[in-house]
Amino acid sequence: MPLLPALVDAGADLLLGSACVVCGLPGRVLCPGCRAALPLAAEIAWPSPTPSGLASPYATGPYEGALKAMVVGHKERGLLGLTRPLGDLLAVSVAASVDPEVPLVLVPVPSRPAAVRARGHDPTLAMARRAARVLRPDRDVVVARLLRTRSGVADQAGLDADERHANLAGSMAIRAGVARRLAGRRADVVVCDDVITTGATAREAQRALEAAGVPVSAVGAVAATVRRHAIGHKVPNSRPSLSRPPGTE
């Protein structure tokens, strides 16, 4: 490691007690070695079972190891230094999901206001803004906070797929007036989130957007929970999937 970054990391550890969320190396919240090992590509990541009508979901890797440590550190521990690398990963997923020649609208999944207040930041919005900055030199891209959450939504932690779908049904709505601003604009709309688990959150965001006349092209995420397909479950896309069992075609 070059001398200056090493001194900066040592100073951060001395003053702040910080360390890499992946390997524990004192210094930056993500050390250069762990950052260099992050995925460089994304692939389709269908949840199993797949919610009916879900737009094609993309992720850079399974929700485990480094990606899980980064998402949890950013969301639950307020490690804002992870916004940049997580946003970079989200940009990879978004770029893989849509036509590079078409203007792009990134729509972050809305967080519950209480969660934003408790955390002191909105992690998904921050990642989407970073992803837009990464993609913007090569294309027309904006971040649009089109969605809001309705009251009565419980925390998703610990809920199974059916419970998540029931909890989120009708829980999102489009902000007043935004659909009119998008009318007539040719653009790919991508719903953005940190993790694809059951697909319930992304599908509800898609439902709310499409109910207001805003078609969704894809779902982009940093990571996807690896889930084995139930017997007889048909994968709705023939491309390689993070959610398929190892060794399947």
The two structure tokens encoding residue 17? 């007690």
Residue 13 has pLDDT above 60, yes or no: no
Q: Which of residues 78 and 232 earns the better pLDDT score?
A: 78
pLDDT at 56: 97
**H or E element in which residue 71 lies:** helix 65-76
Q: Comparing 12-16, 44-48, 88-92, 232-236, which segment has the lowest mean pLDDT?
A: 232-236
pLDDT band at 90 (very low <50, low <70, confident <90, very high): very high
pLDDT (mean) for 153-180:
60
Per-residue pLDDT, averaged over 199-217, amounts to 92
Structure tokens at 211: 């109910």
- Residues 204-225 have a mean pLDDT of 94
pTM confidence score: 0.79
Distance CA 31, CA 69 (A): 13
Mean pLDDT of 188-193: 97
Q: Is the pLDDT reported for residue 177 higher than 70?
A: no
Quick one: pLDDT band at residue 54, thresholds 50, 70, 90?
very high
- Main-chain phi, psi angles of 218, to 5 degrees: -165, 175
Closest alpha carbon to 203 in 151, 161, 241 = 161
Distances (CA, A) of 95 to 53, 103, 162: 21, 12, 30
The residue assigned the tokens 């440590």 is 69
Instruction: Check if the beta carbon of residue 152 is closer than 8 Å to that of residue 169.
Output: no
Smallest CA-to-CA distance from 61 within 193, 249, 242, 244 is with 242
